[in-house]
Amino acid sequence: MTNGKLPMSFWVVAAIALVWDLMGVAAFAMQVTMGEEALQAMSAAERDLYASIPALGLPLLTRSPCSNGQCSSGRGARAHRTS
């Protein structure tokens, strides 16, 4: 690095890390926007697993479409839980 350029291995690792992070963002977005029909398509075991995931940070990261327990269909699947 005498000429100030970063080695090619840095860019390869950075590109892999960026793709990995974008896959995580996509998985998160799909999870929080999962509609009621997608939940119904899951098996009972999958619905139980989905319902057991803590939603600690979701109120900070997303806006809830629900007010007073009334939810609009197709958005905010976590608000549709009946646990």
Residue-wise pLDDT tens digits, 1-40: 568 899 999 999 999 999 999 999 998 888 878 888 888 8
Residue 64 lies in a domain: no
Is the CB of residue 79 less than 8 Å from the CB of residue 66?
yes
- 37 falls within a domain: yes
**Inside any domain, residue 45:** yes
32 part of a folded domain: yes
Rg (CA), the chain: 19
Instruction: Indicate the pLDDT class of residue 77, thresholds 50, 70 and 90.
Output: very low
- Which range of residues forms the domain containing residue 37? 25-56+77-81
6 within domain boundaries: no
Distances (CA, A) of 18 to 15, 27, 55, 80: 5, 14, 25, 32
CB atoms within 10 A of CB 28: 14
Domain count, the chain: 1
- Return the structure tokens found at 82: 């009946």
Tell me the helices (H) and strands (E) count for the chain, helix number first: 4, 0
pLDDT per residue as tens digits for the range 56-76: 656 555 555 554 455 554 444
Q: Does a structural domain hold residue 51?
A: yes
Residue at 52 is within a domain = yes
Residue 69 lies in a domain: no
